[in-house]
Amino acid sequence: MDHAADAYRTDLMTITRFVLNEQSKHPESRGDFTILLNHIVLGCKFVCSAVNKAGLAKLIGLAGETNVQGEEQKKLDVLSNQVFVKALVSSGRTSILVSEEDEEAIFVEPKLRGKYCVVFDPLDGSSNIDCGVSIGTIFGIYVVKDGEPSLKDVLQPGKKMVAAGYCMYGSSCTFVISTGTGVHGFTLDPSLGEFILTHPDIKIPKKGKIYSVNEGNAKNWDGPTAKYVQKCKYPEDGSSPKSLRYIGSMVADVHRTLLYGGIFLYPADKKSPNGKLRVLYEVFPMSFLLEQAGGQSFTGKERALDLVPTKIHERSPIFLGSYDDVEEIKALYAAEGKQ
């Protein structure tokens, strides 16, 4: 046994240690945010474990059957939703929860209420589970204004979020978060059951070589999107064409964009005139992270984080990624606006 190596492993920056360090920079803080984040992290670990067993559970005939307690085995997205709702409510630090899986917002009972609202997609890309593609959880956190919590506390522009992040369940389990002072990535060490800081202060390259879009929708795109994708494939300035990478799981596509640079597009089209991705728990958290990493994000009309949602499951087109790449698409929309 290598005792020296084991001793080194206790010196690692775990997510708990990282958040406590951040907390110590704010002498006025009472640790509420730290407690909330610990509950989110616990939910992610649970879902990670469930995702890893999903194929096996199906293989040995569990999904859709009844277990010893007479409970029906739940589909992963339903299970993930319940895991996060319970984890967030039991933290005693939340007032309102908005989940992709629930039609209405959940108002926490008064005795368990805290000062935060959490918006989340418990398992984004869940249609990809059966083929082993990376899937993930996305979340954003708002602070409740004083007084009785109401939907107004959630229907705020993304720039009012105090934190956002995602957890990706792929070849490794990766947790990426920003509390408004840069973006940091942690990887789950299964032998310790701890998230370890592996990607401190992530910065997206200013310009990337990858574009990511569902080209199957091309016939329904608007002018600027079609022109932009054409420029990616056939650059007019003699540069090399961009590579196309599209997984179809937002967490995985955005994670790659964040690390390698480039642009991720889910534009509006004739079929989905308002776009397809949901504002509160997909567009806002990812835009928050990308801006914190030095990129930008745009809806086709405005900066994504300036958008003011009117419904909890509202949708929006989105273009996010490297600063220069998003500038190009903004210029195309501005040119069309002038015509």
41 and 188, same domain (yes or no): yes
Q: Which of 178, 199, 220 is the last residue of a domain?
A: 199
Write down the pLDDT at residue 3: 62
Q: Tens digits of per-residue pLDDT, 247-268?
A: 999 999 999 999 999 999 999 9
Q: Please indicate, yes or no, whether residues 131 and 49 belong to a single structural domain of this protein.
A: yes
Claim to verify: residue 319 and residue 284 sit in the same structural domain? yes
Q: What is residue 69's predicted lDDT score, i.e. its pLDDT?
A: 45
Q: What pLDDT, on the 0 to 100 scale, is given for residue 324?
A: 97
- Contact residues for 234 (Cβ-Cβ < 8 A; gap 6+): 241
Q: Are residues 168 and 257 in the same domain?
A: no
**CATH for 267:** 3.40.190.80
In degrees and rounded to multiples of 5, residue 257 shows phi and psi of: -60, -40
pLDDT of the residue at 273: 93
- 326 in the same domain as 215: yes
Domain that holds residue 273: 210-337
Q: Is the pLDDT of residue 47 over 70?
A: yes
Task: Find where tokens 């945010």 sit.
Answer: 33
Q: Is the pLDDT of residue 71 over 60?
A: no
Residues 247 and 189 both lie in one domain: no
Look at residue 45 and tell me if it is in a domain. Answer: yes
Q: How many helices (H) and strands (E) does the chain have?
A: 8, 15
Q: Are residues 283 and 332 in the same domain?
A: yes
Q: 129 and 55 share a domain?
A: yes
- Indicate whether 3 belongs to any domain: no
User: Could you say which of 168, 199, 230 is where a domain stops?
Assistant: 199
Same-domain pairing of 165 and 287? no
Average pLDDT over residues 147-163: 94
92 — alpha (psi -120 to 50), left (phi > 0) or beta?
left
And the tokens for 294?
């030095």
Domain boundary among 154, 179, 199: 199
Q: Looking at per-residue confidence, does 130 or 266 come out higher?
A: 266
User: Position of tokens 């934190």?
Assistant: 163
Classify residue 8 as exposed, middle or buried by CB count within 10 Å of its CB (0-12, 13-18, 19+): exposed
Query: Do 53 and 140 lie in a common domain?
Result: yes
Average pLDDT over residues 114-124: 96
Domain presence at residue 10: no
| 266: in domain | yes
Residue 319 resides in a domain: yes
Region 186-213: mean pLDDT is 96
How many residues are present in the chain? 339
**Is 292 part of any domain?**
yes
As for how many domains the chain has, the answer is 2
pLDDT band at 68 (very low <50, low <70, confident <90, very high): very low
**pLDDT, position 141:** 97
Same domain, 228 and 190: no
Please indicate, yes or no, if residue 105 is contained in any of the structural domains.
Answer: yes
Q: Read off the pLDDT band of 75 (50, 70, 90).
A: confident
Quick check: is 219 in a domain? yes
List pLDDT tens digits, range 295-313.
999 999 999 999 999 999 9
* CATH number of the CATH domain containing 66: 3.30.540.10
Residue 2: pLDDT above 70?
no
CA-based R_g, the chain, Å: 21
**257 lies in the same domain as 297:** yes
Collapsing DSSP states into helix, strand and coil, what is residue 249?
Answer: coil
- Least confident range of 55-59, 259-263, 327-331: 55-59
H/E run at residue 39: helix 32-59
Residue 110: both structure tokens together: 């008064």
